[in-house]
Each structure stands twice: as C-alpha cells, then as structure tokens.
Structure 1
Amino acid sequence: MSDARLETRPRNEPAYQDDLGTDGEPPPPIHLLRRIGKRPALCHYNRLISLVLAVNLGLLAHALGPGGWWSAPGGAALKDLSNATLANFALAILIRQQYVVNILFWLATRAPVTWPLRIRWTLGKVYHFGGLHVGGALAGTLWFLAYTGSLIDSGLHHEGGVGTARLAVSCALALLLLAVVTTALQPLRSRFHDLFERTHRFGGWTALALFWAQTLLASGGRTPLMQPAMWVLAAITLSVALPWLRLRKVTVAIDRPSPHVALTRFDHGVTPFAGSSTAVSRSPLREWHSFANVPAPGRAGFRLTISRAGDWTASFIDDAPRRVWVKGIPTAGVANIETLFTKVVYVATGSGIGPVLPHLLADEVPSKLVWATRSPRETYGDALVEEILAARPDALVWDTSVRGKPDMLRLAYAAYVSSGAEAVICISNKKLTWSVVHGMERLGIPAYGAIWDS
C-alpha cells in the first residue's frame, strides 16, 4: 500500500476502509412467522436436544406400556435400563469425537451449489451437532438414575438383592453423573468455566472407569466379551483415548505485534486444512484452548492468532512459551460450510479474523470481508493486515478507534446485498455473533456462527 493512498485519508484513518454500511440499503420488514421461527430458543442445536429427548420419551412410553420391559420379571428391566443408558452416552461421546466431527462436516458439504438454497441452508447447520451430545448426556443420566433406583428397589424388596459392590458403584456413578451435568448448566458453566472443564474431564474419566466396573459386576460371571455392553464401552473408551494418544509437546515461534495479540507459528510436521482448529495447552491436565488454524497455501506448518481474552491468553501473551502441548487432530469448524454457497460474506471482529484468514487465503469460495477491529495495523502488525488486503482488496476494514463501534448487523446486510452473496458467516464474541446470525436469519438470509457448546 503506497503512502500516496494513505495521504488521501484523514489523519490516522487507514486507506483500506470504505463507506459501505450505515448508509446502505435498509433491511426489509421482518415477517411475524419468520421472527418466531428464527428465535434462538428454536435453533437447530435445541431442536436436536429435543429430538433425542423425544426419542427417549417414546422408548419410555413403550417400556411402560402393555408388555413393556420396565417391570419384566427376572431382572430384564435392569438390563434394558442399562442398555438405554449406554446407547445415549455412546451418542453423547462419539458425536464429539474428532474423526466423527470431520466426517459429519465432509458429508454435509458434499451438496453441490446447484441444490435448492433451503436444503443447503439446513446442511450448513451441521455444526449444531452438539445438541446430540447434550440430549444424549441428559437422557443417559436420567436412564441411569432409573437404573440405580431399580437396583436399590431390588436390594430392598427382593431376596438375594444385587450385591453390595454393584449397588455402591452404581450409587457413586449416579452422584458423579449428576455433578457433571450440574456443572455443565449454562449459568454455572459461564461463571465457573474452569470447574466445568475439570469436572467434565476428570469426572468423565472416573465415570468411564465406574461404568466398566459396573458392567463387569453386572455380568454375573458370564464371559464379558459376549456382552454388547462391553463393545459399546470399548468404543467409548477408544473415542476418549484417541486424542490423548496423539498428545505431544511441540516448539512454537511467537511474534507479538502488540500487547493484545500473539501470532504463534507451528511447524511440527502437521499442515492442517483451512477451517480447522487445534487444541493447545501449557498444562495438559488442567485446561485446553482451541484456536483456528491459519495454514498458508504451499507452505508447511500453520499459525494461530491468540488475542488477550482472559487469564490464560493474557499469560500466554505476556509470558510467551517456547513449547506447548497439542493433542488430537485438526478438527473442522463452522466456516467449513462456505463450500455450500456460491459466495459468502465473512463478518469478523478483533481476533475473529484468525478463523477467517485461512479461507481468504485458500480462496475456494468467493467472499466479501467485513472486519471491525481497533487499530488493525498497530494491533496485528502491518504484515498480517497486508496479507488480508492482498487476499481481499475490497475488504471493509472498520477501525473502531477512529470510527467507533459500528452496527455490525447493518454492515453485514449491506455487504450481503452489494456482493450478491448467498450466506453470512460471523466470527466474533458470543453476544455479537448471535445478534448477527439471528438478525440475518430473521431476514431470510442463511447465517452461521459459533454456538459455544464445547
């Protein structure tokens, strides 16, 4: 970018801003039915939770009906309750396995852009798969509580009982599952996120061990390998173990263009695909943070853009490590659904440019970029800004230190109209992402953004 171009702008105002947005075409009226149907409470994530719970309610109705297994003689009900529990937990755990996630995204994005927009719009919601995780975990916990209650009833009212060890393990497991579910509730999870992570990790591992113990105790001396429950538990255990089997400590190179950002380069033999993420930790048993990978076409390795957004990221920037832990494989993220559309608008704020940049560099799908951030050159460095502008010369880069915070929904809509795009992808904080995504969807425009369910 030449100095002559910079001189044509007011002092301190970057030349790569333009005036699209606040004076653009106003949005059309929002119809009542669309406003209701696109409410956050009715998002695909919650629909999937409801679907899983509805299927389990149907199973419960069958169990309680004539000829159902709930009160069947000979302990058959206990076996069926155990199977229902394991089936739901298998769904909850396997749906989050990295290989499964990548397969889901691959399948969803096979649809050609010639398919009707309504179908592609729905396929793009593949990243809401976390609803299956929540629904399965909730249903599995409820089935196991019923199982434990039946065990207690059997011990109190039936001769011979079920064995002290089996009953003790089941009661301990029931309490542990309740603790894991309780800490995952949104109010507690938001306020005590570290507690949520550790309860999920260590509580989950302990629960898996107790499930093995409970299944072996319930086998009654029969050959365990002949039981389907053993194979289900083996699949769950392998799913949990796989990322940790790829745990490694790698060397990183860190550039800090400002106190707000660390541009971290990895080159340990892995070049991830655009739109994937990598989990990073300085203490692998304490906490993990996932960041979007930024590979450069034709170049080995990748970068992560880590901005100051809490204690962990602040410590990472201020006390830059030479080596960090990584685990698992690069995993697909929301922006991978771009290939379902002929053209998209990327809306990003601050370090949200990190997940967007690899898609701009790969240039698989035509796109328009709207990026709002404070002092982009001072914060992220000239090199990164020039890289962005080289990939998208028509980008709207809004310097909030000069122009204030914009109406991102209005900017997104104006960019959508002017560029002829089919969809909008927003990478920002939770509040703004939901504002843009739900605002665009109420206008009848496909829109996507993170749902913070991991």
Structure 2
Amino acid sequence: MTIDTAELADRSLRTLLRRRPFTHHNRLAAAVVLANLVAALALDWQASTLVVVNLTLAALIRQQLVINLLFRLATSAPTHWPLRVRWTLGKVYHFGGLHVGAAISATAWFSVVAVTTPGPLTWTILALLGAMIVLALPRLRARHHDLFERSHRFGGWTVLALFAVQSAVTDPVLLWPLALVAVSVALPWLRLRRVPVQIVSPSPHVALVSFDHGVTPFAGSSTAVSRNPLLEWHSFANVPAPGRSGFRLTISRAGDWTARLIADQPSHVWVKGIPTAGVGNIDKLFTRVVWVATGSGIGPCLPHLLARTAPAVLVWSTRDPRRTYGDALVDEILHVQPDAVVWDTTTSGKPDLVALAYDACRRFDAEAVICISNKPTTWQIVEELECRGIPAYGAIWDS
C-alpha cells in the first residue's frame, strides 16, 4: 500500500490543526472577529451597534441556561452518526472562544466610539474594558486569579451600567439588548443561597463535601461554591449518586482557598445559579469511553461511572488512593469499575498516561478519551491522542 504526497500533506495538516494554538476555542474566537469585520465592511454596521452585539454575545454565552442548552443540543446526536461528526460536536465546551472573540471585538469597536465621541464616560468604559482584557490574559489570570475574577465581576457590572447610561442619551434602542444582558447577569445571583454542608477529610489533602438542600444535579454538572459571595467563587464537579438526594464535591488542596476549607470545615457555604454542564457530558456521544483522571480529578468522572451514562473504563493515577481518599470512596469506585487501572504513584512512580490511555482504548475498543487532570497533563493527553486519531477531550481553563 502506497500513500501519495497529497495524502501525507493532508494528514500533516490535520495533525497540526489538532495542536495548540489551533484549538476549537481559538478558531471560534477568530470566527467572531472575522464576522465582525464582515459586518462592518460588507454590511456597514455602526461601531456602537457592534459594541452592543458583541457585549450581548459575550455575556449570554456564559449564561448557565445557555451553556446547558448548548450541551443538550450538541450531545443529542445519536451514536450511529459518523465518528468525525460526533468528534466535532464533543468540542462544544470550547464555546468560551465565542466569549473571548466577542469581548475583544466589543473593546475594539468601543475604542472607535471613544475616538469619535470622546468624553469622561466613554474613556472610563474603555479603560475598564481594557483592564478586563489585560487581566484575562492566560499568564496574568493564572498568577492573579482573584484579581481577574473580581475585575470581571465588578468591572463588568460597572461597564454594563455606564454603557446603559450612555446609550440612554445617544441611542435608546440599544437599551433592549443591554436589558437582556442585565437579566442574564442577575439570574444566577437571584438563586444565591447559604446552605448547610457536611465535610469529611480522609486526609489533609482532600475534603469530601456533601450537600442535601433540595438540589440533586445531573451527572456531568458543576456547582459554584463560595465562603464570601462578593469576592471569590470556585466551581467543582457534582457527584450525585443514583437513587439518593443531594450530591458530593471532591475538593483537593490546590491553593489557599481549598486549604482553608479543608482545615476549617465550615458548616455552611454559599451557592448560586443552577448546576451547569461541563466537559464530561460529551461521553453520551460515544459508544465506549475511557476516563483518565489524576488525583481528585476522579470527582468529575465518578458521577458518570456511577450513573453509567456511557460504557466506560477508568484509568486513575493518584498517590496512595486509600490513604488519600479513604476506603469508602475507593471501594465505591471499584464496585462500578472492577477493571479500572488504578496507578499508585507512591509505589509505582509517575506513569505514562498517554500510553495507559491508548492501551485502554485498544483493549476496550473505546471511541473517545475524556481526561480530568491538571493543565499540562490534560493538554498533553488530548493532543497526543488526537494526533493518533482518537477523539480526546479535557478542560481548557478558559474561564
């Protein structure tokens, strides 16, 4: 069998497009920017109109109801559809690219507005938009996450209010989409509640947090949790158990906030909004799935394994699993996954997770791999497997 030059070039191009920076997230961001150029140059849209359109898109695409709808639509495809189609639909969680592209475009068009109609209010809005974009740059966001989060919350609210004031004077028609944005922003806060929790720490590294306040979320969703609702929020994967009310969160020590939670074990925490779909939901697109988890990444995998949302096999790499997470949790996992590969890094060292995942795919005849781990490991596994022709998915840390 011979492979001609054109086919080799096509394979090389596909391999290149499966690596950064050509992620679906970045492609969506670029598509929004391109659509803005078309709207401005070919359709002759005004800068102020484009600002509002982009601000509306940037806000709505982060709305929990919209996110859940996107996942519901994307994962409704039956498993007999061609794998290439389902492979692409599984990338639905890259929707944050629309947010990024719209936010950048809104700021760019507002700079045009600021030049043509300068004034203190206009320059204040532009400064806030610019600061939010700068603090959202990946390195700054990772290094100063609390500042990034607060700038987006308070800066976003301020921009919305100031732009509404400006629009009321210059173009009242623009107030209608801004009102929609205001409702979208307010909805999660209307469900702000302080709820009781029970916390068990099998080790100083982990807290198993149990909720039972009238909400039993679906497998593959997450809940935003806070101890100070105006300042800091953290999202964790919900772990509901079939036939039981409530849910659990598996929280590992990964910073000051989680360390204090494990040490203090508060009796109540704040929650807001509704359970929101995450990357794990895409498992139902495939006939068989391999879940790859490291450490407390087992938390987002567990509800799917318990609910058997799709035939699956688990590869879990962690240090001393029983000592870290407790016998009860490990036994619960092995009960539903007796063939799981549980790699104890304490005794066996660091594994080659790409090789373990690839081997599990071949043994289990899986169509896809879902990885729940830290950023470098997730990116490595997703990119290496996709270059081998296996659909692979994992968080992209875009929010």
Structure 2-normalised TM-score?
A: 0.96
In structure 2, distance between residues paired with 1:35 and 1:410: 18
1:297 paired residue number: 242
Is 1:89 matched up with 2:52?
no
For residues 424-435 of structure 1, the aligned pairs below 5 Å read 424-435=369-380
Q: How many residues align?
A: 390
In structure 1, distance between residues paired with 2:263 and 2:304: 29
Amino acid in structure 2 at the alignment position of 1:52: V
2:304 paired residue number: 359
Equivalent residue for 1:193, pick from 145, 160, 167 = 145
CA shift at 1:35, angstroms? 2.5
In structure 1, distance between residues paired with 2:124 and 2:309: 51
Amino acid in structure 2 at the alignment position of 1:34: R
1:117 paired residue number: 83
Equivalent residue for 1:233, pick from 159, 178, 198 = 178
Is 1:43 matched up with 2:23?
yes
Amino acid in structure 2 at the alignment position of 1:296: A
Q: Any idea what SS the aligned residue of 1:42 has?
A: coil
1:127 paired residue number: 93
Moved more, 192-201 or 342-351: 192-201
Is 1:441 matched up with 2:389?
no
For residues 319-334 of structure 1, the aligned pairs below 5 Å read 319-334=264-279
Equivalent residue for 1:171, pick from 111, 118, 123 = 123
In structure 1, distance between residues paired with 2:142 and 2:309: 36
CA shift at 1:57, angstroms? 1.6
For residues 154-165 of structure 1, the aligned pairs below 5 Å read none
In structure 2, distance between residues paired with 1:335 and 1:134: 22
2:228 paired residue number: 283
For residues 54-69 of structure 1, the aligned pairs below 5 Å read 54-62=34-42, 68=44
2:5 paired residue number: none
Contact 1:249–1:325 at 8 Å: present in 2 too? yes
CA shift at 1:217, angstroms? 1.9
Moved more, 122-131 or 35-44: 35-44
Query: How high is the sequence identity, in percent, across the aligned residues?
Result: 62
Task: List per-residue Cα deviations over 1:354-383 (Å, max 9, x = no partner).
Answer: 000000000021001000000000000000
For residues 66-85 of structure 1, the aligned pairs below 5 Å read 68=44, 80-85=46-51
Task: List per-residue Cα deviations over 1:102-134 (Å, max 9, x = no partner).
Answer: 000000011000000000000000000000000
In structure 2, distance between residues paired with 1:284 and 1:364: 33
1:157 paired residue number: none
Gap runs ≥5 in structure 2: 1-9
1:101 paired residue number: 67
Equivalent residue for 2:170, pick from 206, 218, 222 = 218
In structure 2, distance between residues paired with 1:38 and 1:453: 18
Contact 1:93–1:239 at 8 Å: present in 2 too? yes
Is 1:345 matched up with 2:311?
no
CA shift at 1:430, angstroms? 0.3
In structure 2, distance between residues paired with 1:59 and 1:104: 24
Amino acid in structure 2 at the alignment position of 1:289: H
2:315 paired residue number: 370
Contact 1:96–1:130 at 8 Å: present in 2 too? yes
Contact 1:180–1:200 at 8 Å: present in 2 too? yes
Amino acid in structure 1 at the alignment position of 2:16: I
In structure 1, distance between residues paired with 2:121 and 2:165: 7
Task: List per-residue Cα deviations over 1:18-48 (Å, max 9, x = no partner).
Answer: xxxxxxxxxxxx9533331211111100000
1:74 paired residue number: none
Contact 1:279–1:289 at 8 Å: present in 2 too? yes
Task: List per-residue Cα deviations over 1:238-295 (Å, max 9, x = no partner).
Answer: 0000000000000000011000000000000000000000000000011100000000
Amino acid in structure 1 at the alignment position of 2:267: R
Contact 1:111–1:120 at 8 Å: present in 2 too? yes
In structure 2, distance between residues paired with 1:34 and 1:377: 42
In structure 1, distance between residues paired with 2:212 and 2:37: 50
Q: Any idea what SS the aligned residue of 1:294 has?
A: coil
Q: Any idea what SS the aligned residue of 2:238 has?
A: strand
Q: Any idea what SS the aligned residue of 1:369 has?
A: strand
Amino acid in structure 2 at the alignment position of 1:265: S
CA shift at 1:60, angstroms? 2.9
CA shift at 1:303, angstroms? 0.2
Gap runs ≥5 in structure 1: 1-29, 70-79, 153-166
Task: List per-residue Cα deviations over 1:195-243 (Å, max 9, x = no partner).
Answer: 1111111101111110111111214xxxx4xx2x111001000000000
In structure 1, distance between residues paired with 2:70 and 2:112: 32
Contact 1:169–1:213 at 8 Å: present in 2 too? no
